[in-house]
Amino acid sequence: MEHEQGKSNEAQPGQLRQADVSRGPFKVEWQEWHEQCADGCCDRYGIAVFVDGRSIGSKEFGDTGDAIEMLMEHLGHSVEVRRLFSDHG
């Protein structure tokens, strides 16, 4: 994500400022969540990501790869995250 001319370099609420990026190390946490409707016929699940106790986002039907992508994009990096599967047992 590049800084566009005329745009403020200030962090949005809940976001890290550029000065924060260089200070690390960060405490990165994620929480997998699951919700079920009252009659049990509907399920929703996802993942929420936190940096230093601040939420940086949540994604319905998300997994650990989505958490990594949210973190890297939050820190200003364009990423492609791919899950690798083992051919062994």
pTM over 0.85: no
For the ranges 8-22, 52-66, 67-81, which has the lowest average pLDDT?
Answer: 8-22
Q: List all residues 6 or more positions away from 53 whose beta carbon is below 8 Å from its beta carbon.
A: 27, 29
Euclidean distance between the first and final Cα of the chain, in Å? 39
Mean pLDDT value across residues 35-55: 91
Sign of torsion over alpha carbons 57, 15, 54, 71: positive
Which residue type sits at 5? Q
